[in-house]
Structures are given as structure tokens and as C-alpha cells.
Chain A
């Protein structure tokens, strides 16, 4: 089923939870709503579910406006962060509940419950009560209940955040596999960018109720629309250097209080187009910072903290009051307090407007 969110605004009293949001979600697509807590992503989900009514705007399922349709007529499956299993029913009854409400014949209900339970490998749990299940099992039951009704749309509200790290990895892969296998249009709410990046076909990044960017994970990473997305996507986050543009012969430089960077060819034309701006922000991801002996680098920085991550070493550096992070392969030959030289990979630099936060250009 195709889901269209058109110019959706949702207010609670005076608080604007979602503002003028438009998203077009294709049939069978897996979309993540990503943002920090309180950004309005759960509000969007519950509005699509019919629990909240839009203040303005429309929700369409396959082109048909469903604003006035109560949740029970929307044929939606939903998994809540708390799983919301009915504690007074057994697992079997939980999964069968949506089906009994549709007055389905008992044999058919049984067939569907068992099939869904097999799909999620929870057959041996059917007689238990939710209180007797582990977190991971509860999560499977919740997913099973949502899928057994064969919904047109699956809504997942932070379904992984109550699992421990190991289970989360497993569940992540499993949900992705199931979604592709069943081909159900899915909206997934999360605050964890890794979850969104690994699972979703496309990600809508929200901040304070406003859509920042709606694109594929790869595009969000390589072409962030603004400072918020650039900082939110990617771990550790992008480094930002704010300075003013100065001309040195044919070269353009971004100059800060204790540093300056010559802009590479790829960024020059972009920078020239906005020469009238007094200040610009240069963005560079930690993985695109190279370290060198102090006399070789374009910039000189002091090693401040060293965090070995196993596959990489995360180095915190400082140049005066400026803090930078670099992600470099081990072994790391320097120690805290050493002065090192820095290079920025000229092919992966970004320029942002400090006033609007919008991306001006990238190399």
C-alpha cells in the first residue's frame, strides 16, 4: 500500500509537534522516521495509525484520504516500544485478538496464528503469558501479533530500544528480512541512526517537527541537506570549522582564530558563488581526516584524548578552542599532548551556510 502524508501539521494545544510534513511512501517500501527524542516522529506514526487526528493536512492510503477513518478500519499492524502486549491474555490470545475482533472463523484464526508463530519461531511460547517472557520474546510476540492480521501497513515505534545490544543486532536483521519477504509497507520510528541506516530503504530525518531530509541512507551520508543532518547521520559526527573566507592570490581560504584551510578545487566554485557571505562552515567527517607528522600537515593540532575502538582509533584533537575528531587506522604512533599535522581529504569536504544551516556545496 502507498502511504502519502500531505502537508501534515499536528498541534497539541499551543505546542507544534509536527509542521507541514509531506512524505510519499511507496508500496512495499521500508521507511525510517529518524530524529532525536521529542522531534515529533512518534506523533507522525500515531497520526498515520489514526490515534491522533491531523490539525491540518491529509493522510492518504493508496490515494484515498483516511483522516476520518478510525484505527480499526485502517488495517494496520503496529509494534510499540513497550510492546503493549495484553497481560491478561496468553500469547496465543494476544495474536488471535485482532482476528477474533474481525469475527474470523476459529479454524482460520488458528491457522493464521500458528503460521505467524512459525514465521517468528515462537510456537513454544503460545501458551505463556506476556509476564513470563523475556524482552526479546515479547518483541517477537508483538511483531507476530502485528503481522498475523496481514496488515497493509506495518508501523514500528522504536521496537528495538528495549533490547540488549546483542539481541538488537539479531532483531534488526530479522525485521529487515521479514519486511522484504512479506513486502509490507513499513514505517519505522527510531532515534538511532545506525538502526535507520542499516534497515531502511529511505530515511526521513525530523527535527523539532520539521522534515530535514528524506532520502536513501547513502544519500543522507554523502549529501546531507543541512548541518542538522550532517551532524545527526554518521558516527562519530562530522567536524565543523566555522571561519571567514579570505582570498590569497588564486586560492580561497577559510580562516579561523588559530587556523586556516585552503579550499580544494572542488569547493572553490561553490565558495565563490557565496563570496558575499562573511562566514562559512566547513564540514569534514572524522574518517576523512588524515594524520601526519607535525611538519607535514596543513593544520597543526594537539592530541587530546585517544579512544581505541578496535578496528579504528578515534582521536580527539584540539587547535586552540576548536575540537576535532579523527578516525584513523591503528596503530596510532602518537601520545596525548603530541602535536600532529592534519590533512582533510579534498574529495569529501562540505560547505554550510552558518545562518540557515543549509548545505552550500560539496567537493
Chain B
């Protein structure tokens, strides 16, 4: 009996600590399918909350346009990030050149640096590049913000490839570039997959950058779209139909949740590896 209590205690504490989280998310699923809820108790079942999928919501653009924009932003930025970090990380991990130390330190400093403080100035950079209010502009900014992490993570994966393999490739007849493309890149495939999953989720979720740098309605991503529904804070929100908002929120978050179920392993790898000193 005593042993049973001892064994059970950690489970109980964990469950108690995690209960608020469960309740938070439970509402999203309950609210999306009921006309009204009292707390977590639904008043019946309905699918009418989902009508926004087929009919316009006020004077907003179609939610499908926003979904497309979110996909383009997340996908585009993921591809750019992977390309740039896997080339830079390879150089830092494997090539000897003057300035290697400097670049390494730069990556590390930028990694710790709170880049969000540069939001104001980046606004001007985008305007100067004529990329303000464009998807590619926001994708580039997002790439920049995640680049230190991307390079750091990819460098870790390149570091773990045995030197023998690369030496063998060179002796077998590869140039350095061929060795990178035909041997090294396939060897770090798990790293690329992990970073891709991580980056895509981050891009899909991104709110501030599109909100600040892509104000036109045609450029709205799902985050900005949903913000336009919930904005005004707690006071105003009570006058709109909560069920519809829950449905829209669920529509937005569901792909991430499903994705998360299958790729959790990858995400953990990046979180654990990316910030570890």
C-alpha cells in the first residue's frame, strides 16, 4: 500500500499540473461543434460553426486564401532556410578557412540575441528592398530570424558524420562539392527532416511578421485572419459567436496538431539540440 502511494504520487502531481492544459484545449474541440457552451459543457451539437469554410466571413477574404498564404509562407521559408543553413553549416563544420572562428561566434551570438528587437528596423530594410507587403519578404525575414538556430542545428548534424566517410568520398573521386551533395547531404537527412518539420510548424504559426509586414488583406495568413476575428481583446470578443471562432481556431491548429503527433520526435530533437550550449 505504502509502495503504491509512493509510485503513484508523481503521476498524480503531473496530472494535477497538466489539468489546466487539458481543459484549455478541450474547449477548442467542444466549442467548435456546439452552438454555445457554458464553460466546457456544450449546449447541443452543430456543424453550423463551420459555415465560414464556404461563405465569406464579413468583408474578409476567403479563409482558403489565408490558408494558401500560410502554406506558401511556411513552405517557402522552410525551403530557403534548409538551403541556406545546410550550406553554411557544412562550411562551418567541415571547411577550414580564414574567419571560420568569427563566423562560428557570430552564429552563436545571433542565436542568443533576441532578434525580435529588430522588428522596427527590419520594416525599413523591407521597404528599401521593395519587399514590404510581399510574401517573399516575410519569408526572408523569417528565414533570417531562424537562421542562427538552423545553422547551429545543421552544424551539429554535419559534425556527427564521421570524417572517414567524407575522406572516402574524396578518395573515391568526389570533388568537395560532390562529396557534399552525394554523400554528406544524404548522411544528414534526419537532420534536414527534423529542421524542416520544425521550420514548417514555426512558419505556419507565425503571427507577428505577417501581421506587421504584410497588412494587405490579399496577403493575410491564417494567423492574421483569426486575429482579425478575435482582436479587440476580451471585452469585444463576447459579442461575436464564440463557436465560430473556436471552429476557425481548430481549422488553423488542426494540421499542426496532426503533424505534431507524427513528428514530435523531430521537434524534440531540435528543441533539445538547438538551444543546448
Is B168 on the interface with A (CB-CB < 8 A)?
yes
Contacts A88-B186, A88-B189 given; does A145 touch B162 at CB 8 Å: no
Contact B187 A80 (CB under 8 A): no
- B164 lies within 8 A of A81 (CB): yes
| A49 B167 Cβ-Cβ under 8 A | yes
Give Cα A76–Cα B174 distance, bound, in whole angstroms.
12
**B186 closest partner in A (C-beta):** A88
Q: A51-B167, A82-B164 are in contact. Are A98 and B172 (CB under 8 A)?
A: yes
Is the pair B171, A88 in contact by a Cβ cutoff of 8 Å? no
B165 within 8 A of A: yes
Cα–Cα distance between A83 and B172 once the two chains are bound (Å): 13
Q: Considering the complex, give the chain A residue whose CB is closest to the CB of B166.
A: A84
> Across the interface, which residues of A come within 8 angstroms of B164, CB to CB?
80-84
What is the distance, in angstroms, from A104's C-beta to the closest C-beta of chain B?
Answer: 11
CA distance A171 to B205 in the complex (A): 57
B189, closest chain A residue (CB): A88
Query: Closest CB-CB distance, A13 to chain B, in whole Å?
Result: 12
Residues of B within 8 A of A101 (CB): 172-174, 178
Residues of B contacting A81 in the complex (Cβ-Cβ under 8 angstroms): 164
A49–B169 CA distance with the chains assembled, in angstroms: 12
Say whether A70 faces chain B, with CB atoms less than 8 Å apart. yes
**Contact indicator B167/A87 (Cβ below 8 Å):** no
Q: Does B175 contact A (CB under 8 A)?
A: yes
Contacting B at CB under 8 A, from A63-84, are 70-72, 74, 76-78, 80-84
- Contacts A81-B164, A86-B165: A49 and B187 contacting too (C-beta < 8 A)? no
Name the residue in B167, B169, B186 with the highest tally of chain A Cβ atoms < 10 Å from its Cβ: B167
For residue A46, CB closer than 8 A to chain B, the reply is yes
Contact B187 A78 (CB under 8 A): no
Residues of B within 8 A of A97 (CB): 172, 182
- Which residues in window 255-312 of A have CB below 8 A to B? none
Place the interface of chain A in its size category: 20 to 34
The CA of A71 and the CA of B170, in the complex, are separated in Å by 6
CB contacts (< 8 Å) of A74 on chain B: these are 171
B157-201 residues at the A interface, CB under 8 angstroms: 162, 164-165, 167-175, 178, 182-183, 186-187, 189
CA distance A139 to B183 in the complex (A): 19
Find chain B residues with CB under 8 A from A102 CB: 173
CB–CB A80/B174 < 8 A: no
Instruction: Report the bound CA distance from A49 to B171 in whole Å.
Output: 7
Q: Which of A7-56 contact B (CB under 8 A)?
A: 46, 49-51
Verify B165–A84 contact, CB threshold 8 A.
Answer: yes
Bound complex: CA A62 to CA B252 (Å):
69
User: Is there contact, CB below 8 Å, between A98 and B189?
Assistant: no
Q: Which of A49, A83, A97, A102 counts the most chain B CB atoms within 10 A?
A: A97
Contacts of B175 in A (CB 8 A): 70, 72
Residue of B nearest to A101 (CB): B173
B168 x A84 contact (CB < 8 A) = yes
Q: Which of B171, B183, B186 contacts A51 (CB 8 A)?
A: B171
B183's closest neighbor in chain A, by CB? A86
A149 at the interface (CB under 8 A from B): yes
A71-B186 Cα distance, complex, nearest whole Å: 21
- A72 in contact with B162 (CB, 8 Å): no
The distance in angstroms between the C-alpha atoms of A8 and B43, with both chains bound, is: 86
The complex places the Cα of A86 from the Cα of B167 at a distance, in Å, of: 11
Q: Are B162 and A82 in contact (CB under 8 A)?
A: yes
Neighbouring A residues of B167 by C-beta, 8 Å:
46, 49, 51, 71, 78, 80, 84
Cα distance A50–B175 in the bound complex, in angstroms: 12
Tell me how many residues of B have a C-beta within 8 Å of chain A: 18
Interface residues of B in 28-70 (CB under 8 A from A): none
A98/B187 contact (C-beta < 8 A), A81-B164, A84-B167 known: no
From B168, B178, B186, contact of A78 by CB (8 A): B168
Given contacts A86-B183, A101-B178, contact A72 B171 (CB under 8 A): yes
Of all chain A residues, the one with the shortest Cβ separation from B168 is A84
> Are A80 and B173 in contact, with the CB atoms below 8 A?
no
In contact, B183 and A72 (Cβ under 8 angstroms): no
**Chain B residue with Cβ nearest A97:** B172
| CB contact between B173 and one of A46, A72, A86 (< 8 Å): that residue | A72
CB neighbours (8 Å) of A71 from chain B are: 167, 170-171
In Å, the complex CA distance between A78 and B166 comes to 12
Q: Which residues from chain A contact B186 at a C-beta distance below 8 Å? A: 86, 88
Q: Which chain A residues border B189 with CB–CB below 8 Å?
A: 88
A98 CB contacts on chain B under 8 angstroms = 172-173
Chain A residue nearest in CB terms to B176: A70
* Bound-complex Cα distance A74 to B168 (A): 13
What B residues does A51 contact at CB under 8 A?
Answer: 167, 170-171
Q: List the A side residues contacting B162 at CB < 8 Å.
A: 82, 84
Tell me, rounded to whole Å, the shortest Cβ–Cβ distance linking B193 to chain A.
Answer: 13
Residues A87 and B187 in contact, CB atoms below 8 Å apart: yes
- Chain A residues 86 to 127 lying within 8 A of chain B, measured CB to CB, are 86-88, 97-98, 101-102
A86–B171 Cα distance when bound, in Å, is 13
Residues of A within 8 A of B171 (CB): 49-51, 71-72, 74, 76-78
Q: A102: nearest residue on chain B (CB-CB)?
A: B173
6 tightest Cβ-Cβ pairs between the two chains A and B? A101-B173, A84-B164, A84-B168, A98-B172, A88-B186, A80-B164
Please list the residues of chain A having a beta carbon within 8 angstroms of any beta carbon in chain B: 46, 49-51, 70-72, 74, 76-78, 80-84, 86-88, 97-98, 101-102, 145, 149
A selection of 24 A-B contacts at a CB cut-off of 8 Å is A50-B171, A51-B171, A70-B170, A70-B175, A71-B170, A72-B171, A72-B173, A72-B174, A72-B175, A78-B168, A80-B164, A80-B167, A82-B164, A83-B164, A84-B167, A86-B168, A86-B183, A86-B187, A87-B187, A88-B186, A88-B187, A97-B182, A101-B178, A149-B173
Known contacts A50-B171, A84-B165; 5 additional CB pairs below 8 A are A70-B175, A78-B168, A80-B167, A88-B187, A101-B174
